[in-house]
Every structure is written in C-alpha cells, then in structure tokens.
Amino acid sequence: MARALAPAAILSFAISLPAWAEQPVKNPLADSETWQDLQYDVVGDAQIGNADTLLSLDAPYRAHDAATVPIVLKQLDPNVEISAATVVIDENPAPIAGVFTFSPAMGELDFEMRVRVNQYSNIRVIAETPDGLHMTGRFVKASGGCSAPASKDPEVALASMGKMKLRSFGQEAQVSTPRREAQIMIRHPNYSGLQRDQVTQLFIPAHFIDHIEVWQGEELLFTMDGGISISENPAFRFTYNDNGTTMLTVKATDTEGNTFEKDLPKAAAS
C-alpha cells in the first residue's frame, strides 16, 4: 500500500506547483440589482434566454489592469447564427461598452477586445439570434478602469490619433473557405471624461471612437457602436472567412467628428 504523504509534504508539493497547474477560478455572473435597473434600458421588454450553450465569454476573475481587461467571445454552437451582440458592464458609468453587428462572413464567432472596468462588476454579452436574445457573462474584480490615467501625454496621443495597424495570424482551411485570424489596432486615447490631466489636474473631456466598420472588399465583416468602456487604443482580434481580397478596410468616427479610414493589406502570417 502506498504511504500517505504527511501534511508538511503535501503543503510543500502544493507550493511547488507551477502557475499553469493551478485550477482556474470560476467566475459566473453574480446577482446584480444594477442589472435589474438596467435591463429595460438595454433590451426593453424583450425576453432573454440563457446563452451558456451558444456562446462563451472569457474574462479574468481578477483583472491585471482595470483599464485594459481582455474579454473573448467564442461561439459554442455553430448551427446558430449570431448577428449581433451587446456588451454590458453593469457597474460602469456608461454600462453599454459596445453594440456589435456581425455579418455571415465572420462565420463561427471568435472575437476578442479590451474594456475598462470601473469597479467589481458583471460583464455580460447579449447575443442576437434568429430566435431571440441570449445572455451569458462573467463577474470581474477590477476597479478604477474608467478613471485610470492615459498612458501618453494628451498632445502625443492626439498627434498619433487614427493610425491603424493590422496583424494577420495565418489561415486554416475549412471546407472550401479559408479561415483567417486578424487583429486590428487603432490609435486613439478614447478619453472617458473621468480622467484627469496629470499636469493641470483638470478633467479631460470625453473623446472616444463611437463607430467602427471593418470590410474586406465590398463585404462587411463587423461594426461597432461604442462608448467610454472600450479601452484606450482599441484593438479587436477576430476570425473571418477570407473572400480572397487583398485588403481589409477600416472606417471609424469619433465623438469630435473626426473620421479615419485606411486600407490594410492582409499581411503574411505572423
């Protein structure tokens, strides 16, 4: 018979486990009185079903940086079309982080973005499908994301505003249509209106990207109508069905009336 480990040995073994061997912390949606107040403003009288078998939302239980919290949407049921999704952060000053629409060219949804979280909060995604709305989400421990200082001096940030970059991550053959993974990055301070100038200590007025469209040729991939909860220098990583065009075109506007548009060559896989 194998000899049982002494308590001290068990403790020593546990301490020596590498980080990847630790069990992940589960963070399902928590009860939220705030959501009860918000729900009608977000979806009206529409009934909301459970999306746990349709779509997953992955987010850290305890965020490393409240101003850039990564969230990943992954479709679980490939047989259901997800045409739109609303991302809500219950406790943020402006809870609707973004409303997204997805064309059939996005295929099976796999979409990542970064958001601000102002205090411990549920992050929820409400997916729109042919048979109605479905919701899932995570509870995230983070605070101060909407008021966190910008990473660059305002003059420097505004000087580079609107610059865009595309990273491509290769393609995977699926039936007759190649799948490609890409990340689009847009330089913009996305000021929330809650941040202070570090020199004058005055609040910096809200100034953020409020609309984005991503096209491949004449085929729309996705749109976003966003608010202050999208992080500084917005970045979106996603998969899509490549239609053979050589460019992705990004069109964006911000709350100051600026427009940005750029054709980004589909670079070699990195």
Q: What mean pLDDT do residues 21-40 have?
A: 82
pLDDT of 3 > 50? The answer is no
Q: Give the residues across from 256 on adjacent strands.
A: none
pLDDT of residue 19: 44
Q: pTM value?
A: 0.87
pLDDT of 93 > 60? The answer is yes
pLDDT of 75 > 60? The answer is yes
Going from the N-terminus, what domains does the chain have, and what CATH number goes with each?
24-265 (2.60.40.2470)
Q: Give the residues across from 203 on adjacent strands.
A: 196
pLDDT of 11 > 70? The answer is no
Instruction: Decide which of 10 and 23 is more confident.
Output: 23
pLDDT of residue 198: 81
| Phi, psi of 177, rounded to the nearest 5 degrees | -115, 120
CA distances from 195 to 114, 165, 166, 199 (A): 18, 26, 28, 12
CA distances from 207 to 72, 161, 257 (A): 25, 11, 10
Query: Does residue 77 contact residue 105 with C-beta atoms inside 8 Å?
Result: no
Q: What mean pLDDT do residues 241-270 have?
A: 90
Band (7; pLDDT cuts 50, 70, 90): very low
- Using a pLDDT cut of 70, give the percent of the chain over it: 86
CA distances from 192 to 118, 160, 208, 233 (A): 11, 18, 7, 12
Instruction: Decide which of 26 and 40 is more confident.
Output: 40
Residue range 117-134, pLDDT digits in tens:
999 999 999 999 999 999
pLDDT of residue 16: 44
What's the CA gap between 22 and 138, in Å, rounded?
A: 19
- Which among 63, 48, 222, 47 has a CA at the least distance from the CA of 142? 63
Query: Does residue 96 contact residue 227 with C-beta atoms inside 8 Å?
Result: yes
pLDDT of residue 177: 61
Residue range 41-54, pLDDT digits in tens:
999 999 999 999 99
Question: Comparing 26-35, 107-116, 136-145, which segment has the lowest mean pLDDT?
Answer: 26-35
Band (97; pLDDT cuts 50, 70, 90): very high
Chain centroid offset of residue 76 CA: 17
Q: What is the 3 state secondary structure string of the chain?
A: CCCCCCHHHHHHHHHHCCHHHCCCCCCCCCCCHHHHHHHHHHHCCCCEEECCCCEEEECCCECCCCCCEEEEEEECCCCCCCCEEEEEECCCCCCEEEEEEECHHHCCCEEEEEECCCCCEEEEEEEEECCEEEEEEEEEECCCCCCCCCCCCHHHHHHCCCCEEEEEEEEEEECCEEEEEEEEEECCCCECCCCECCCCCCECCCECEEEEEEEECCEEEEEEEECCCECCCCEEEEEEECCCCCEEEEEEEECCCCEEEEEEECCCCC
Residue range 137-196, pLDDT digits in tens:
999 999 999 999 987 777 788 889 999 999 998 655 444 568 999 999 999 999 999 999
Residue range 221-236, pLDDT digits in tens:
999 999 999 999 999 9
pLDDT of residue 148: 94
- Which among 160, 152, 204, 222 has a CA at the least distance from the CA of 186? 160
